[in-house]
Each structure stands twice: as C-alpha cells, then as structure tokens.
Structure 1
Amino acid sequence: MAAAVHKARELFHHGSHGDRKNSDGKKSLSKQESRDLEEEKHQLMEYEEMKRPLSPSQIHEDHGRKMVGHSSHVLRQEDFELVKTLGTGTFARVWLVRLKNTAKGDQNKVFALKILRKVDVIRLKQVEHVRNERNVLAGVAGHPFITTMVASFQDHDSLYMLLDYCPGGEVFSYLRRARRFNEPTSQFYAAEIVLILEFLHEKEGVAYRDLKPENILIDAEGHLKLVDFGFAKKVENRETYTLCGTPEYLAPEVIRNTGHGTAVDWWAFGILVYEFLVGQPPFWDQNPMKIYEQIVEGHVRYPSAMSSEARDLISGLCNVDTSKRLGNISGGAQRVKSHPWFGNIDWDALYNRRINGPIVPHLRGPADTRNFDEYEPEGSQREAYTREMAEKWDDYFKDF
C-alpha cells in the first residue's frame, strides 16, 4: 500500500550574469573577481566546517549579514565538480558537488547543487514558484531543520541553488522499510516539524504547502531537513487560491478553493503524524477525486492501537473548520508544542540539536550517496535560451 501511495503521489505531483570566460574562448576573471571568488570559496568551506544553527532572531533579522542565503555574483557551475545526480524533476536536477581546486582535507566537504534551466522554468510556467523558492530559502537559511541554501547564482542558461547535502535520503524510505514508526520516533520527527512550521508561519509569514515524507530528508546526525520549497509562498495574513500540493495531504479549504493560508500546513502535519504512526495516510484511494471527497468529509478512522494523546493531537490538527484547527487557533504553534503528546520534548534542546536523532544513517563518509537512487544521464538535446527570451525574462531572475 505504501509503495502505491508513493507512486500515485509522484504521478500527480508536478508540481550580472555568467560572463566569466577562460581559455576555451570564454572571458576570464578580473583580479577583483578572482579575489572575490577565492573569498567566496573560503566562506563556503568555513560554513561547511561550522554548520551550526542560527537562533530564530538571527535568521529573521540578519538577511543581509548571514554567511548563508546570499546571491553570489562570482560563483559559476564550472567552480564545482558534478559528482552524482541526487534527484530530478520536470525542470530541475540536483547534483552532489564539491568545489574544484580545494585545499587538502576539503575534498570531503560536499554540497547539493540544484540546477534549473531557465527555458524549462519558463515553458512550464514555474517562474513565480522558482522565485518564491529562492527568496523563502534565503529568508530561512540557518534554521536547524530546513535545508540551508548556502548561496544562489546564475549564468545565461540556468539558475543555481547551492544547498546543504543530506546524505540520509528521504524519511519516506525509512518509513516504507519500517512500515510504521514507533511513538517516540514519531514524536521526535513531529517535534522538529513543529519547530519548522512555527518559524515559517510566525517569523516569516510563509505557508509551505507541500508537507509530506518525500520532502523531508535525514541528515548525517539523524535530524530532519525540510526540502523542496517550490510551493512555499509568503502569505502573511492574506489568503491565496492556487491549487497545489499532494492529494492525500491537501486541506479541505484547498480542495473547496475557498482561499487558504498557513493553516493548510497544520492539516498536512496531522496527516503526516498519522502516516508516521500507521504507515499510510488516513485518506487514500486510487482515484484522487475519492480522496478529495474523504478529506472534505474529514472523518479520520483511528487504529485501536493508537494512543489517546496521538488521536487527540491528530483530530485537533485535522479539523475541517480552520477557526478550530490546532496550530491555527489562538496561541498558534505554542498550543501544538504544549499538547500532552509532546510532553517529553525539551524544545530548546531539540532546536539546538542536543538530542540525538532516533535513526542515524550508516554512512561511509560525508559524500556517501547510497541512500539516493540512480538516475539516467541528462539528455543532450536542449532548447536554447535565446537573446529575446533573456530580454523578456532575465529581470524576473535578478534575485539569483
């Protein structure tokens, strides 16, 4: 069943530029650009060495001064060795990369590089989503449980986001192998997600809108990292109407198209906790329309083995009425954190990663890719990004 659910999700879910040249006929760097590039590389290595979480106030206030989340005007794709594809989408490919020509001992400092071809982003009408993703990731860079966008950059053809590498792979893979997580494991992961949603909603005014196990990775120490912010949107206190997400995790107000805000994430969080504990989501059918009918009805069936505290939490989160939904009512995320199901969680120790993760991946080293699938090589047939397209669209990509 879990594999079928995963497959159905995949089928549904589609959801100053590179002038530098070298001896191949490309323009070379000026002395100042060379110095800036070396400084940038040094900072990347320094960040990779430290990698400590910033406090919520540091993340929120220091957008311009943070070591991470910035737009780089000197980094280019040719500064990186592309080691292996970690994932592909309809308009993006994510690579494991390391910086070229690094000092001895730095070869194991690796990153994930998300490459988005401008032509595909435009053709698939993803310009706004891509801009949202870059800007939201810049705003939240440094959070302990959100993938860190270290830097973004671009060249004539492509957009790039340099991200933390999470060698543990998807939480979904561990859930599928275990069939279900026990209560302590579920509580640990759920608590880290509460801290993510609290920050996104209350500090940044951002609705994530695609919470599911496939978008949560496990890092080398066994902590979660939320990835894929393509549907994330700064909504503040406004409502938005875009239909996006994954069928089993959609909130009723999204299906009804009555306007939605950050409350959709608390609904999806309830579905996620249920899936952690049971092994499959509460609303499921081969036909997405049947799933939508079940969701709008909002009747969750609980296994007899599920604890009363877990049932109470999920029923509070999966309330069809947003004015009564836990997380969206007065008190916000704090009401979720103070729920009895989270009674054993030390929230401060958790945020600062002083508690060990329940599943620590077995790794041969920092660049181990055993937890990621093999992918076909990239096709050589590519549509050109023309001068006319650049004149029309490049201004949209200026934040990169």
Structure 2
Amino acid sequence: MLAMEKDFDSKLKIQGTNNNDNNNSSNSSNGGASNNVQRSKSFAFRAPQENFTIQDFELGKIYGVGSYSKVVRAKKKDTGMVYALKIMDKKFITKENKTAYVKLERIVLDQLDHPGVVRLYFTFQDTFSLYMALESCEGGELFDQITRHLIELFGREFDALSVALGRLPEDEARFYAAEVVDALEYIHSMGLIHRDIKPENLLLTTDGHIKIADFGSVKPMQDSRITVLPNAASDDKACTFVGTAAYVPPEVLNSSPATFGNDLWALGCTLYQMLSGTSPFKDASEWLIFQRIIARDIRFPNYFSEEARDLIDRLLDIDPSRRPGAGPEGYAAVKMHPFFRGVDWSNLRSQTPPRLALETGAQSGDGDDHNDSSWNPTHIGDGSVRQNDGNGGASSSESSGHITRLASIDSFDSKWYLSICLTIFLAWQQFLDQGESVLMISMVKKLQKLSSKKVQLILTNKPKLIYVDPSKLVVKGNIIWSDNSNDLSVQVTSPSHFKICTLSPGAKLQLVHVNPFCVMRAFLLVWSLVQDEAGCKALPYNRKSSLTIIKELNHRGPYIGLITVIPTEENAFFATRSFKPDPKHPFVDLSGRRFRIGKVQGKKVIYVRCGVGMVNAAAATQQMLDLFDVEGIIHFGIAGNVNNSMSIGDVSIPGQVAQTGIWDWVNPQGKVDQDDVAQLDIGSYNVPKGNGSNLLGHIGYSKEEFFSESGKPNTAQPLLWANISQHWLQLAFNFGELKLEQCVNSSLCLPEKPKLVVGLRASTANIFVDNAAYRDFLFQTFHISSVDMESAAVVMTSLSNGFPVIVVRGMSDLAGRQQGENAIGEFGSLAAINTAKAVLEFIGKLP
C-alpha cells in the first residue's frame, strides 16, 4: 500500500516552490493571453495543499457521486467552515489513467476567479484518496430546482393542475440562463472549454445564484490564459469524447475538434430543460439519443415563447460557428437576444434570484410512509422504511429492511389501485408520452457487476416498462412490453432475484426484490384489470402494440406517404440509400404490411409496399391516411408503355389517371349502356377481320363511383379522370434535367437516353396488359400513355380523403410486344431505378 501511495504521489505531485518562474506564470495567468497554452514546470497554488486528515471534518450528506469520486458536505471541526469535499479514489485514478485529468482540474480551479465558478480552497490526501475542498453551494443543483417544481405542486389544491409540472417559469429560467452565460463568457475568455455543461453541474448558492462546477472534462485551447503543467494537460486530441450523452453536440459525435460552440450547444440543451423539464433529445438509450442529436430531431413544446424557441434553436445550430457566442460578435450575440431583454448584465450578481424550491422529505425516522406528511415521489407505490440523506435522494448506505409492500394477489383491490393511479400518473408524468399512464410501480435494485442501485420500476399502459433513478427522477431506460417470450421474458433466478430479458440492445435488467413472483404477478394482474375496464380484449396484441407506436410517431409528424407495389420497385428505392430509418421505431407491422418510418432528404416519410392490384393499393392507402399523420401520398413504380412516342426507361408523371377496369360485358346481340364512356367490340378483332361470330360480344367501359369528403355524404359522383393534385404536379413541371439510367449493365442498354414526361394520362385496371391490339385500343380510345394495376386506386383513395397525391411510373415494357418475352424481365429494374430518381427529385422540391 505504501508503495502504491509513493507511486501515485510521484505522478500527482504538482506543488512547487515560489521562484521567479512561478511568479511569472502566476502573473501571466491573470493577465493577457499567449499564442499557446502556457506551461510551467511548477508554480505556487492559491489553494494550498494542506496536511489535514478526513478526521478533521464532520461529513454530512452526499452531494453527488461520479465514476471515481463523490462529493460530500464536510464541516471543518475547528473552524466550523462548511465545504463541498470532493473525495477521489487514488487506485481508480491510477488504474484508469485519469491522473492528468485530476491534475488539470485542480490547476484550472486554482486559477479561475469569478463569482459564477465554484472556488477551490485547499487540497489534501491520504493513503487511499485525494481531497479537494470546494465552495459549498447549499442551494443544490439546478437540476433539483427544475424537478422540485413538480414536487411543490402536491401541496396545493387540484385546480392548480394547470401549473406547469417539473419545469421552471420563463422568468426564472431567464435569470439562471443569464448567470450561466455570464460565467461561460468568463471561462471562454480564459481559453477554456468546460465540455460538461448540464443542470447537474450548475450549482446554486444559499441565496440562489448559479455557479458552474465539475471541471473534470475541461479543455484548454491553444490561446488559453491558464498556466498548465506539462503532465497535467487534458487529451491532446480535442475531439476526444467527454461529457454527458444528452448534452453532447453533433460535432463531437462526428469526431470534430472541440470548440467554444460545444458549451453553447449544452447551454441550449440546458435552457430547453429548464423550460420543459426534460432534455431536448431525451430517448431510451444513449445510442438513440446520439441518433436524435445527429439528426437534430428537436421538437419545441407549444408553450415555449417565440424568444425562447428562437434562442434555443440558434444555440442548437448544427454548425458550431453559427451558435450565438461563438461568432465574431462574441457573447454580445447572446446577451442582445430578445430572450434576455431586460437583463441588467452589469449588475447580474447583485440582483435578487428566484426563490429556491425547498427540498422535501428531509425528515428521517423509522415511521411508516403513510404517516409521513411530506411528499416524496419515491414513496409512491413503495411502503418501505427509508433513510433519507437530506438531499431528497436515497441514503448512501443500503438497509436490509427495505421491503416493498405489495398487496396480496388474492386481496388485490382494483378500485383502490385505480384511484391511486391518478396520484402516480401526476408524479411520473414527465416520463410518459401523451396519453400514456402508469399501471404499476415498485422499487427494486438493479444489479450490476460490482454494485447495485435502486431504480423505480414502472409499468405503463403502452404497455412499457420504465426504470427510473428515483433520487434524480431521470429515466435510465425503457422496455416495450411483449407477450412473446422471444421478445420479452422474466426469469426468476432465486427467491429474491429475477431478470427481465429483451432483444433490445442493453435492455437486460437483473433485479432483486423480496418477492419477484409477487411483483410480476401483480404487474400481469394490473394489466389484465386495465384491459378489462378499457374493453380492449378484442384487439390482437400485435395490432394494439402497433397502434400505440403509431400514436407516438404521429406526435413527430406530419409525414409524406410513399407507396410502391412490388419488391423490384422497393429494392431500387432503398438501393439509393436516401432512406434513413427512424432510430427508435424503424417500422410498424400492421395487417400484414410493414410501414417503414424514416427520412428522405430531410423530409419525414412513411413507406409501404402495398402489393399487386387495386384492392391492395386502396387498402394500404386508406390505412396510411387513417392511421398516420401524413400530408400527402407519392405513389411510384413501373408501368407498361402504351404511347409509341415514349420508350422503355422513360418516366411518366401523369396529370390524369382513369380506372379502366369497370366493364359492362354485354351479350353478343346486346348493346352497351349509353352512359358507358367507351365500347370494345371484340368481334372486330376476329381473324380474318369481320368474318364469323364472336360469342364474347361487347365490353362497355363505365365510370367510377367517387365519394369525397368535400361532397354530399353517402352520394357518389361519376368519375372517369382523376386529376393529380395541381400544386404537386407543378413542382414536377419545374424539374430540371434529370439524369436517368440508360443501361442495365455493360452489355444491355437502351437505344435512346430515357426522359421524364409530365402531364400525360394513365389508366389502371386489374389487368396486366401484354396484348398489342388491346394496347392500341386503349391509346386510341382514352389517349393514355401508360397502364398499371394500382395508380387509380391510390389516387382516388387519396383524393376521396382530401389529400394531395402524385404518381411516378417508369416504363418497363411496351405493353403487348408480339415477339419474344415481355421486356419487363430485362428492363424492369432499370425502370424502377429511374422512377426512384424522379421520386427523390420530387421529394427534394417539396417545401
């Protein structure tokens, strides 16, 4: 042990003697900047290294716990001074090569001097630990102030439910944001990037002023005014990943070098959280959070003011150089923003801060929770005896007497449960989606390799399992419920342990509870009770689950609907790699079809392959319009060419589409109906022409019955030509030159370069046209250019529901070529590729 301590001291010893070099370094650190990070072999610290021991302090509540340290409230016995004592594990620091980070944090804190930055008073060490005595901020974390606005509500009348839950009023958020801006401006002026700005690292003094803490991830820039020892530098590569997932900017995820813009992005995230109660990119896992950050998938609540929305939107700019505070105007661009109108920047620290929301549940004792007049969210659904640490969180020591009491499975009172659900719903509302509510809740321990941690396990009506850190009210993960044991299973491994296993990455939980059978049986009972009362038993599970996901997806809408028919068309579209699947819900299976959710050229889309024929096309289109929040339909695929002026490989965007499959098939001696729009005399096609009789007689072409939401209810209008939505068709007319493929491969090419044609006519019927005579009849009678089996169904269904629609079809064959096989086998894939190119061009033109 002594050898380890000496080895560590040799790596960490950074205090030098006072000499001229030290004085010069000290002066430089308080004066102007240099072109490079100032480095010195040694210098005198403002905060000395003392010979104290831990026994010189009375230790109180734990402020926070990190990977290799914890911060506790410590009162110096001889002076009565109170500090936030950061205790760091030497062995862990050495093993994980964190020595340089610890030294850098100590050096940086020693040289910073600003009322918005926590102060370092002194350091000391012993055999096992390093200690930093920091300024104690008795007001706690800004994070707690945000969440306590939820807690405070529960002392008021229920007509106060209109009060915002778990978020700060805008005036309070403005004050705190202004003080963070003030401190960040100073930190950046010293040539430092903090790299971990978040509500947990923004501490409040007793009177309520903000101080930035935790400089363990700090990065000195090349022109830093901070003097850094050679062996106390942070990572040489400024693009090294540090920080917290929900606040990391996209450029860090893309391995770009760190800039001051990193902190400004985190400031935007923090302001968003102050005003909404949750981080802007909140999701079920770090991977999903990162996907949302890269995609800049941010949604502003409607209660945000225009000024707040605009400032956050600017701070969350993808380009770090465009964020206010990072450009040539400096922090004036932030301070002059309308959101901060009325802020007195010169006297900011002398202004009266917002009233601190007091922490609740600070009383201790062994009494039952039901007799506790204070409200604590971790008590809901948990009748445990709980030692409180005085900071609104769980005690650092685990008690074997923590028994979560659940009602007996035989005496479970559904009315009692449903009445308590309202309280639970309000307490945990911040973790739920709109329309989602809590069904069951219980405190359990999440077991990890070397430790265990209490989590609140919640079952919702989605159904979904959520596990929450009860001390900070932060979601640690969630699991979509499934009755398929391959997707979700519960394994009871001992009388007190059980596992929840799922296919979702990183979602395997190992939990301990005094009676796991009781917990899971209670979950299942509650689920069945709610299903009985909701009358949902008739819905198959997979459909019910899909509808729940669709409801969540629609909150992110609207989308553009994309509908193809056959795998050839689908494969060509996905081969463009333009479709980016939604990271959380890439698809939804419903009624045998897979609806894929994602983005194309930045536009939100929902794609489905409907299948061949008009029934499939109409059914899939109606499903998409009924279930999803779509703003229009793009139908695309391949088609047969009827117009001799067009060629295989060409792409047609028709202006009109007809349903030419409604026939009156008349007896040989009969006449077609006078309302029919055309007549096909089959006898005219006898060979030799006109000789003999033909028992097939005549075919009369009827109009479609068209129902529209803009028409009279239950009254159909006769319709032959359905017009493509004009404002979308106009976008197609404005296409520039579109480069279409001419060759399937090096040995199979078309004789002419394919072209795009807009505004012609197309027809649809449940007929695959491979007959030259019938092709000529269609062209001469209806003046159409292409034939397919789905377009009219998609168009008329869309128009009937009042949605814009457009059709894009690539010519795969000359319908009815008389020699050899139909050309669709050779050129179908090329036609599908050209169609996909035209579709991408159209999506890119959409506003």
Would you call these one fold, judging by a TM-score over 0.5?
yes
How many angstroms does 1:307 deviate by? 1.4
Alignment partner, residue 179 of structure 2: 192
Give the whole-Å Cα distance in 1 for the aligned partners of 2:65 and 2:126: 20
Q: CA 1:236–1:198 in 2, change beyond 3 Å: closer, same or farther?
A: farther
Counterpart selection for 1:356 from 338, 352, 357? 352
- Asked whether the equivalents of residues 115 and 158 of structure 1 are also in contact (C-alpha less than 8 Å), the reply is yes
Q: How does 1:93-104 map to 2 (within 5 A)?
A: 93-102=70-79
Q: Which residue type is aligned with residue 94 of structure 1? A: V
Q: How does 1:90-239 map to 2 (within 5 A)?
A: 90-102=67-79, 107=80, 109-140=81-112, 142-178=113-149, 179-202=166-189, 204-236=190-222
Give the whole-Å Cα distance in 1 for the aligned partners of 2:304 and 2:168: 12
Q: Which residue type is aligned with residue 86 of structure 1? A: Y
How many angstroms does 1:334 deviate by? 2.0
Q: Which residue type is aligned with residue 173 of structure 1? A: D
Unaligned runs of 5+ in 1: 1-17, 20-56, 364-368, 379-400
Give the whole-Å Cα distance in 1 for the aligned partners of 2:65 and 2:278: 25
Q: How does 1:307-386 map to 2 (within 5 A)?
A: 307-350=305-348, 353-360=349-356, 362=358, 370-371=390-391, 373-377=393-397
- Asked whether the equivalents of residues 222 and 361 of structure 1 are also in contact (C-alpha less than 8 Å), the reply is no
Give the whole-Å Cα distance in 1 for the aligned partners of 2:65 and 2:299: 35
Secondary structure at the counterpart of residue 140 of structure 2: coil
Q: How does 1:43-62 map to 2 (within 5 A)?
A: 60-61=30-31
Secondary structure at the counterpart of residue 145 of structure 2: helix
Alignment partner, residue 85 of structure 1: 62
| Cα distance per residue 1:224-268 (max 9 Å; x no partner) | 122221111212469701111111111011000122222100011
Q: CA 1:328–1:83 in 2, change beyond 3 Å: closer, same or farther?
A: same
Q: Which residue type is aligned with residue 324 of structure 1? A: R
Alignment partner, residue 13 of structure 1: none
How many angstroms does 1:357 deviate by? 1.1
Q: Which residue type is aligned with residue 196 of structure 2? A: D
Q: Which residue type is aligned with residue 97 of structure 2? A: K
Q: Which residue type is aligned with residue 243 of structure 2? A: G
Q: CA 1:60–1:186 in 2, change beyond 3 Å: closer, same or farther?
A: farther
Secondary structure at the counterpart of residue 123 of structure 2: strand
Give the whole-Å Cα distance in 2 for the aligned partners of 1:312 and 1:329: 17
- Asked whether the equivalents of residues 239 and 261 of structure 1 are also in contact (C-alpha less than 8 Å), the reply is no
Alignment partner, residue 240 of structure 1: 238
Give the whole-Å Cα distance in 2 for the aligned partners of 1:252 and 1:321: 9
Secondary structure at the counterpart of residue 84 of structure 2: strand
Task: Report runs of 4+ in structure 1 exceeding 4 Å deviation.
Answer: none
Secondary structure at the counterpart of residue 71 of structure 1: coil
Q: CA 1:138–1:274 in 2, change beyond 3 Å: closer, same or farther?
A: same
| Cα distance per residue 1:261-293 (max 9 Å; x no partner) | 221000111111111111112212113222212
How many angstroms does 1:181 deviate by? 0.8
Secondary structure at the counterpart of residue 150 of structure 1: strand
Please, what TM-score do these two structures have when normalized by structure 1? 0.70
Q: Which residue type is aligned with residue 358 of structure 1? A: P
How many angstroms does 1:59 deviate by? 9.0
- Asked whether the equivalents of residues 148 and 357 of structure 2 are also in contact (C-alpha less than 8 Å), the reply is no
Q: Specify which structure has the bigger relative contact order, considering alpha-carbon pairs within 8 angstroms and separated by 6 or more residues.
A: 1
Q: CA 1:95–1:323 in 2, change beyond 3 Å: closer, same or farther?
A: closer
- Asked whether the equivalents of residues 62 and 391 of structure 2 are also in contact (C-alpha less than 8 Å), the reply is no
Q: CA 1:74–1:327 in 2, change beyond 3 Å: closer, same or farther?
A: same
Q: CA 1:73–1:304 in 2, change beyond 3 Å: closer, same or farther?
A: closer
Q: CA 1:370–1:348 in 2, change beyond 3 Å: closer, same or farther?
A: farther
Give the whole-Å Cα distance in 2 for the aligned partners of 1:129 and 1:228: 12
Give the whole-Å Cα distance in 1 for the aligned partners of 2:181 and 2:196: 15
How many angstroms does 1:58 deviate by? 12
- Asked whether the equivalents of residues 69 and 137 of structure 1 are also in contact (C-alpha less than 8 Å), the reply is no
- Asked whether the equivalents of residues 175 and 276 of structure 1 are also in contact (C-alpha less than 8 Å), the reply is yes
Give the whole-Å Cα distance in 2 for the aligned partners of 1:372 and 1:148: 25
Task: Say which is worse superposed, 287-296 or 219-228, in terms of deviation.
Answer: 287-296
Q: Which residue type is aligned with residue 360 of structure 1? A: L
| Cα distance per residue 1:53-98 (max 9 Å; x no partner) | xxxx999459xxxx99512244443433334433332321222222
Q: Is the strand fraction higher in 1 or 2?
A: 2
How many angstroms does 1:323 deviate by? 2.3
Secondary structure at the counterpart of residue 181 of structure 1: coil
Q: Which residue type is aligned with residue 163 of structure 1? A: L
Q: CA 1:306–1:101 in 2, change beyond 3 Å: closer, same or farther?
A: closer
Q: Which residue type is aligned with residue 88 of structure 1? A: V
Please, what TM-score do these two structures have when normalized by structure 2? 0.34
Q: CA 1:162–1:59 in 2, change beyond 3 Å: closer, same or farther?
A: farther
How many angstroms does 1:124 deviate by? 2.6
Secondary structure at the counterpart of residue 115 of structure 1: strand
Task: Say which is worse superposed, 82-91 or 314-323, in terms of deviation.
Answer: 82-91
Q: Percent identity?
A: 36
| Cα distance per residue 1:3-35 (max 9 Å; x no partner) | xxxxxxxxxxxxxxx99xxxxxxxxxxxxxxxx
What do you get for the CA RMSD once the two structures are aligned?
3.0
- Asked whether the equivalents of residues 69 and 148 of structure 1 are also in contact (C-alpha less than 8 Å), the reply is no
- Asked whether the equivalents of residues 50 and 122 of structure 2 are also in contact (C-alpha less than 8 Å), the reply is no
Secondary structure at the counterpart of residue 195 of structure 2: coil
Give the whole-Å Cα distance in 2 for the aligned partners of 1:84 and 1:181: 26
Alignment partner, residue 52 of structure 1: none
Secondary structure at the counterpart of residue 81 of structure 1: strand
Secondary structure at the counterpart of residue 188 of structure 2: helix
- Asked whether the equivalents of residues 88 and 94 of structure 1 are also in contact (C-alpha less than 8 Å), the reply is yes
Give the whole-Å Cα distance in 2 for the aligned partners of 1:139 and 1:85: 26
Q: Which residue type is aligned with residue 94 of structure 2? A: I
Q: Which residue type is aligned with residue 88 of structure 2? A: L
How many angstroms does 1:122 deviate by? 1.2
Corresponding residue pairs, total: 308
Q: CA 1:273–1:85 in 2, change beyond 3 Å: closer, same or farther?
A: closer
Secondary structure at the counterpart of residue 370 of structure 1: coil
- Asked whether the equivalents of residues 48 and 121 of structure 2 are also in contact (C-alpha less than 8 Å), the reply is no
Give the whole-Å Cα distance in 2 for the aligned partners of 1:70 and 1:255: 36
- Asked whether the equivalents of residues 206 and 233 of structure 1 are also in contact (C-alpha less than 8 Å), the reply is yes
Alignment partner, residue 527 of structure 2: none
| Cα distance per residue 1:92-121 (max 9 Å; x no partner) | 12222222233xxxx3x3111111121121
Secondary structure at the counterpart of residue 197 of structure 1: helix
Q: CA 1:332–1:239 in 2, change beyond 3 Å: closer, same or farther?
A: farther
Q: Which residue type is aligned with residue 211 of structure 1? A: I
Q: CA 1:370–1:168 in 2, change beyond 3 Å: closer, same or farther?
A: farther
